[in-house]
Structure 1
Amino acid sequence: MDAREFRHCVGRFATGVTVITSETETGTHGLTANSFTSVSLDPMLILVSVDKKAKALSVLENNKFIVNILKRDQQETAMHFAGRPKEIQPFKWEDGLLGKRIKNSLAYIECEPWASYDGGDHVLFLGEVKHFKYNIGDPLLYYCGQFSEVATAK
């Protein structure tokens, strides 16, 4: 089986776009991720899958993190944390309970580390939810290798 073809296959599953932020002694770090899911309601757990080659991998190991779920108009923020930073930050920070989060996100979920697991070429981080909030708006979606948006029914 071909890995590239498998990537195209799973790309048919539309996902939201998140930026995972975490604090270190050197500041706030973040990465764009669409491999995110809810795992459990009791206890409240979420999962984030991070490529082992990602610079942010070491930042997340045994560290608190925040999942910032992006709105449709936050494409530049997604690209900034996907390795294409803008000269002027396309977002503003706000203080959360466990670190800095992206202001005006569609939602955020603040987590303490719960567990991590080997996932092949990725590491699966489970976080225990300590605080969350959601807002009204349209999500930024990722479908077939590009940003997309929700089509509203009429």
Structure 2
Amino acid sequence: MDSREYRNCMGRFATGVTVVTCKTDNQHHGITANSFTSVSLDPPLVLVSVDRKAKAAQHLHTKPFTVNILASHQEDVAMHFAGRPKEQEPFSWTEGEHSVRFEESLAFIECTPWAEYDGGDHIIFVGKVENFEYQDKDALIYYSGKFTSLVSQASLENVSK
């Protein structure tokens, strides 16, 4: 199988964009990830899949983490944690109850470690949701190798007024 073509095929599935963050020894870490989903409502569980070669895979091992779902204006944040860091960080860190997160995200989901699984060239981290919050803003979306946005219902209602 041609892995590049397989990747292109999978890119036809539009996803939200997240940055998974954690803290180790007072150092803040993050990685951009679109491989994220809810697993269970009872107990509340989510999963993120991280490339084994990524530094974040080591940092997430047995650490609480936060999934920051990005708003449409946070493309710079996504790029910063996707390996193209900005000289000045395009976000502000906030200490959560269990992990660090960003102030202006569309939503955040704080998790404690639940399980880790072998996912081939990735590690699948499952977290138990301990705290979350969300806002009505436009979402950042990744489709076919490009960022775009998804307009929220609140934005549509404001336009129609």
TM-score, normalised to structure 2, is 0.92
CA shift for structure 1 position 26: 4.5
- 1:91-140 deviations in whole A, cap 9, x for unaligned? 11112111221111000000000000000000000000000000110110
The root-mean-square deviation of aligned C-alpha atoms, in Å, is 1.4
| 2:6 aligned with 1:13 | no
The whole-number CA distance in structure 2 between the counterparts of 1:151 and 1:112 is 31
The whole-number CA distance in structure 1 between the counterparts of 2:26 and 2:93 is 16
Question: Could you say which residue in structure 2 is the equivalent of 1:142?
Answer: 142
The whole-number CA distance in structure 2 between the counterparts of 1:12 and 1:41 is 27
**In 1, are the aligned partners of 2:138 and 2:151 still within 8 Å (CA)?**
no
| 2:119 aligned with 1:119 | yes
The whole-number CA distance in structure 1 between the counterparts of 2:148 and 2:55 is 26
CA shift for structure 1 position 150: 2.0
CA shift for structure 1 position 69: 0.3
Alignment partner of 2:150: what SS?
coil
The whole-number CA distance in structure 1 between the counterparts of 2:149 and 2:104 is 18
Q: Which amino acid aligns with 2:105?
A: S
The whole-number CA distance in structure 2 between the counterparts of 1:106 and 1:151 is 12
Give aligned pairs, total: 154
Q: Which amino acid aligns with 1:45?
A: L
Q: 1:97 to 1:26 in 2, by over 3 A?
A: closer
Alignment partner of 2:48: what SS?
strand
Question: Could you say which residue in structure 2 is the equivalent of 1:79?
Answer: 79
**In 1, are the aligned partners of 2:107 and 2:135 still within 8 Å (CA)?**
yes
CA shift for structure 1 position 151: 5.8
Among all aligned residue pairs of Structure 1 and Structure 2, give the percentage whose two residues are the same amino acid.
Answer: 58
Question: Could you say which residue in structure 2 is the equivalent of 1:56?
Answer: 56
The whole-number CA distance in structure 1 between the counterparts of 2:95 and 2:107 is 14
Q: Which amino acid aligns with 1:15?
A: T
The whole-number CA distance in structure 2 between the counterparts of 1:118 and 1:22 is 20
| 2:25 aligned with 1:25 | yes
The whole-number CA distance in structure 2 between the counterparts of 1:100 and 1:22 is 6
- Stretches of structure 2 that go unaligned for 5 or more consecutive residues are none
The whole-number CA distance in structure 1 between the counterparts of 2:149 and 2:25 is 36
